[in-house]
Structure 1
């Protein structure tokens, strides 16, 4: 399949986990890539492996936690490639704590990573996206519309609700310019960064453990990253040319938000 041949995609957080899976799906479909990630070693390994699909893959090491990093990174992207057909805002962060224990710094960090950075990257890359009549894909989370009594999520859920609202608003604003804006709200997907922070502890395909309702997701398991990545590759393709302003739930029909985080 080469339905993305001749296009260039910019993907954040692309050195591991879901971001890497999305980059792999795009490369398999023929897209050239610009990968943004913080860990230089992982980024280079990802770049080398993905280039094996026969497309051009460039890596850009950037710490998007820095206040001016997003805009600076966009300038570097435009110095690396003449075109940007798709921006995938995948990088994000999650901290779960009760309201009384959530610090302002923690809230601000999530707001910055999950909302401000996608906004600034879209803003800075907009001229290229308009020229290519491209698309913006914002990776959100099912935590924008669900909750779990065992995992307080007010601050995190607020940022995911915000990116969903921004996705719909930008779709309306940018549609006349030929730019589509969509979102994906994954359910339980193994996320290495979250596992390191001990927010989740599971592997792809792992069934529900003790304390989790077996009917929380009808498939009875966590998602595989490639299952979400396939949705991203579709949304970036001409086959989704009439799809904008939507948040696609790829969550195993989650009904209780019990298992994990994206």
Structure 2
């Protein structure tokens, strides 16, 4: 039997990639959805395909990177539904550059979307989450605990470390009200966007080297699939995880153990 029937999940960045996979996993488990993303056309395509699961799918076209958009999004969510059982903070941005070449504006952009927006959405939707004794799932990254000279990540890693710390702190604060807060730290996930931006432009030789380096970096020898991270998110939102809060689940193929 599906584990999320009768619940409503709000998912940011839910129109494509990892966010869409999470939405699909939730809908498969019977959850109604509110998807928040920038592109109305992508949202409409997602709504049409996800509705095939027999659940209600509503969409909000907003750019959460805009100041004030998080508050607007929360108001519009509560105008669409009288319950929020799960908030999935998935929308984020990443810029990798050396310290000397990272501008204050770039850092502020990541800090805003990766940390401030999840905080503000959780704050605004807290009364509904408390009523439903719901949960928050923050999508973070293994970059919170790693870095390297090949891809300098000080600013991005700082924002991911911040969301991990906030996840644990909120778990302690909100636990007495019945709201659980967890995070998922994916490794590299082979989304369509990753394929378009990184794999397609490569030559055959570059792809061969890319696959070799992937095998060396990951004990399981490959990148992850979006559905594998999505399954973890659906589990954390379900009654099966009723005694799980404050955890950052590594769904990363194992580089953390090396």
TM (norm. structure 2) is: 0.93
Q: Are 2:249 and 1:251 aligned?
A: no
Match of 1:101 in 2: 101
Q: Is the 8 A contact 1:147 1:256 kept in 2?
A: no
Q: Are 2:140 and 1:113 aligned?
A: no
Match of 2:129 in 1: 129
Match of 1:158 in 2: 158
In 1, Cα distance between the equivalents of 2:223 and 2:211? 14
Match of 2:240 in 1: 239
Q: Is the 8 A contact 1:140 1:163 kept in 2?
A: yes
Aligned alpha-carbon RMSD (Å): 1.8
Tell me how far 1:75 sits from its aligned partner: 0.5
In 2, Cα distance between the equivalents of 1:113 and 1:36? 13
Greater helix fraction, Structure 1 or Structure 2? 2
Tell me how far 1:2 sits from its aligned partner: 1.1
Q: Is the 8 A contact 1:4 1:26 kept in 2?
A: yes
* Structure 2 unpaired stretches of 5+: 201-206
Stretches of 4+ aligned residues off by more than 3 angstroms? 191-196
Q: Is the 8 A contact 1:207 1:221 kept in 2?
A: no
CA deviations 1:125-147 (Å, max 9, x no partner) are 00000000000000000000011
Tell me how far 1:211 sits from its aligned partner: 6.8
Q: Is the 8 A contact 2:214 2:223 kept in 1?
A: no
Q: Is the 8 A contact 2:214 2:222 kept in 1?
A: no
Q: Is the 8 A contact 2:191 2:225 kept in 1?
A: no
Match of 1:226 in 2: 227
Match of 1:260 in 2: none
Match of 2:89 in 1: 89
* Structure 1 unpaired stretches of 5+: 258-262
